[in-house]
Amino acid sequence: MHRKRHSGLANHRRAYGCDGSCPLVCPVITLANIATPNENRTIWILNKDIIIIKCQTLEIPEGQSLLTNHFTLTNNGNINVRGSIRNAQDDNSVTINNGVINVFNTGDISIVVSIVNFDRIFINNGIINNYGYIYCRTSGVINNNTGAKIFNYGKIINGLDTNNNGKINNIGSIINDNADGTGEGYLFGITETSNDCP
What are the tens digits of pLDDT across the range 17-57? 555 666 668 999 999 999 999 999 999 999 999 999 999 99
Which range, of 102-111, 114-123, 135-144, averages the lowest pLDDT? 114-123
Helix (H) or strand (E) holding 14: helix 8-15
Question: What totals of helices (H) and strands (E) does the chain contain, helices first?
Answer: 2, 20
Whether residue 6 is contained in a domain is answered as no
Four-residue CA torsion sign, 170, 134, 99, 167 = positive
In a domain, 145, yes or no: yes
Query: Checking phi first, is residue 181 left (phi over 0); if not, alpha (psi -120 to 50) or beta?
Result: left
* Predicted pLDDT at 162: 46
- In terms of residue numbers, what domain contains 102? 27-188
Query: What separation in angstroms does the CA of 148 have from each of 93, 118, 151, 190?
Result: 21, 25, 10, 16
Is residue 7 situated within a structural domain? Answer: no
Q: Answer whether residue 195 is part of any domain.
A: no
pTM of the predicted structure, to 2 decimals: 0.80
- For residue range 153-171, list pLDDT tens digits in order: 888 887 655 455 567 888 8
pLDDT for 68? 87
Specify if 193 maps to a domain. no
Contacts of 140 by beta carbon, 8 Å cutoff, 6+ apart? 87, 110, 111, 112, 113, 120, 121, 122, 166, 167
Judge whether 11 lies within some domain: no
Give the model's pLDDT for residue 91: 60
- Domain total of the chain: 1
Lay out the sheet containing 186-188: strands in order across: 35-37, 43-46, 65-67, 84-87, 108-111, 133-136, 155-158, 186-188
Q: Is the pLDDT of residue 88 over 50?
A: yes
- The pLDDT, as a whole number, for residue 81 is 97
Residue 177 CA from chain centroid, whole number? 19
64-85 pLDDT tens trace = 999 988 889 999 999 999 999 9
What does the pLDDT read at residue 140?
Answer: 73
Q: Does some domain include residue 197?
A: no
Residue 153 lies in a domain: yes
